[in-house]
Amino acid sequence: MKLANANAARGADAPEWLDEALSAIQAGKAVRKELADGGRLHIDRALPFLCVHISGDEEPVAREIVQANASYLLAPDVAAATPVVMAIGKLLERRFGDFMVLEVGEFARDQLLTEKAPLLPPFRIEVVAGNKGSIQTAARAFIDAVEVIQGKFRTPQVEFREWPEYGSDPNDTLEVPFPMMRVCFAPIYRQRESGNIYPEVRERLIANVYDAILHAFAAFAEATSSLTFPTHRALGRKAFVDAVVRTDRSIDEVASTFDFLLAVTPINAEAAWSEFAASDCERAPRFLYRPLVLQVDAAKKKLFSIPFEHLEDPVLYQLYREKQQELDLQLSMLSARDTAKFVEFGRALYGPVEPGLLRTARDILARSQGVVSDVAGRAERRADCYVVEKRAREMIAEYARRYAGFEACVEVRDDLPSGLLVSGKRLLIARSTIMAAGRVEPLLSHEIGVHLLTYVNGSAQDLHLFRSGLAGYEGMQEGLAVFAEYLSGGMTGERLRLIAARVVASAAMLDGASLPEVYRALVGDYGFVKTEAFNVALRVYRGGGLVKDAIYLRGLLQLLDHLADGGTLEPFWMGKIAASHFGVMQELHARGLLGAPSVDPIFLDYPEASSRLARAHAGMAPLDMLQQ
């Protein structure tokens, strides 16, 4: 019966392969069929619309915009396109009750751009739509979305006209008995005379027109009640092509060839402190580092040989471009380790210390001096590295009980400064680690409950990008990790002061202060004990000057703002993401490209965690976390 329906929908003039495609659509399967002359039919799921491009390679941006959609057809001419659109349209019209076609093309020339124009003029976008109410609604949604675009280079000038009745258009255009809309734009992405491409303009044009098309599809679906969805972005692709997997694995392969933090962490912390103390704290000690196990030039060559042009998804394209740029900066920092350039590359990667962030850090230090929390007061016992190791293994075992894929190992090391560090799926504990017993659970919630957990959950996603981390993820990661200490009941005044001190030290380092000057300020002006002040200074001056430590407080402030605005924590457990990617994660989850977390943090089950989280939702400053 299904095959009979497919044959009826196909029509007499349709190609033979269409029977199989229609049957697949009826069965709920994806369709991706390469056609002659560079054409393609791609339908990752049944939807009440189809995006179409009819042309060869002379309209590359229109082609890219169309193939970004979940349901599209690329055809060399109208004759090839018409039977395919007719067959698919009839089939999906019966299923959804309505069906629309949106054709995208480019004008041959950018007519509004002239040699004599003193400023860049607007560029032309023509929208043509039928006179039915539903397609008019879709056209208006497209125009509204396009007109609010803030053009960095040029803004759109939209012209609208109605499409002639079906069967009455004398031009060589696609004519089908469905609500029809056509968008045509000026090729502003290329130079008028030479034809050379403006890459940034091209990327912006693709992203903006694609988003406006999704608005049009969403408006049509709502007007016809043919489909329900949470947001227009959920109408994007629910499946990625093989090129995405290849790009993802190539990016992950480069990211996995080095551990940035280990490469810039001194291996002689104790000897460096002895050397510094022997100079009466007047001369910066010499830091020693692990030899690099990669050739930076070769890694960069491999990084920039990764192709991005066949991803067919503007969102994923942007995420991988950002990650490529981040890895490039990290590799540049490694090549400049222990030189003056290291600081500037770090500033580019992590950003400066903003005035507001510095004010907040100084305020925390001023208002918390002399504060000892109840937790710290109770924690008279001390825990060494072996106590921490034992509890870490117990916690990892509990996570593994909840999710079998939670695989992690614990290593006690001699080549780390006092403390804990996560590298991939490894928890590294310095043998010199000594801490108050009451701090063990909070710090393991920080390292295992956030850093290891998001690595494991990211590894469970189809794309490895979510385990290696989206570009800029570290700030939110550290903010979440610090917040985890609070939710587990272990935030202390000492800990909060340490996080604030790192910001102050980072700002001083960027302003040109020496390590001894920063050390003396921490001891003399802010009351830190000598070894603690030196540990802060070591972290900030490692590698030649690393501003990364400012991100802990910055990420915490971003997280607290997010929660106060009604945001939730759940999307952050899916993988390693930045605050700026929260909307992207929601979209990818709605599109089915990102699964739910395989396991949630254990610290969310602690007795007081829900009430502490509720206080954060009500609005909280960092110092408020001391009120357990």
Which pLDDT score, from 0 to 100, does residue 241 have? Answer: 86
Q: What's the whole-number mean pLDDT along residues 307-324?
A: 92
381: its two tokens: 């016992």
Distance between CA 28 and CA 26 in Å, rounded? 5
Distance between CA 273 and CA 114 in Å, rounded? 67
Q: What's the whole-number mean pLDDT along residues 478-491?
A: 95
Report angle CA 481, 273, 430 to the nearest 5 degrees. Answer: 40
Which pLDDT score, from 0 to 100, does residue 170 have? Answer: 46
- Sorted by sequence, the CB contacts under 8 Å of residue 282 that are 6+ apart come out as 516
- Sorted by sequence, the CB contacts under 8 Å of residue 68 that are 6+ apart come out as 206, 210, 236, 237, 312, 313, 314
Distance between CA 454 and CA 448 in Å, rounded? 9
Give the start-to-end residue ranges of the domains of the chain.
2-229, 338-379+394-403+437-626
In this predicted structure, the answer to whether residue 150 has a pLDDT above a threshold of 80 is no
Report angle CA 221, 225, 226 to the nearest 5 degrees. Answer: 65
Higher pLDDT, 578 or 276: 276
Q: What's the whole-number mean pLDDT along residues 176-188?
A: 94
**CA nearest neighbour of 523 among 428, 613, 531, 290:** 531
**CA nearest neighbour of 524 among 359, 281, 229, 338:** 281
In this predicted structure, the answer to whether residue 333 has a pLDDT above a threshold of 80 is yes
Q: What is the mean pLDDT of the chain?
A: 91
Q: What's the whole-number mean pLDDT along residues 412-430?
A: 94
Q: What's the whole-number mean pLDDT along residues 364-393?
A: 78
pLDDT in tens, 201-228: 899 999 999 999 999 999 999 999 999 9
- SS3 call for 435: strand
563 dihedral zone (left: phi>0; alpha: psi -120 to 50; beta): alpha
**Dihedral (C-alpha) 510, 516, 518, 524: value to the nearest 10 degrees?**
-160
Distance between CA 331 and CA 329 in Å, rounded? 5
DSSP H or E stretch at residue 109: none
- Looking at domain 2-229, its CATH architecture is 3-Layer(aba) Sandwich (3.40)
% of the chain surpassing 90 pLDDT: 77
94: its two tokens: 């019966």
**CA nearest neighbour of 454 among 430, 483, 422, 486:** 422
Whole-model pTM: value is 0.86
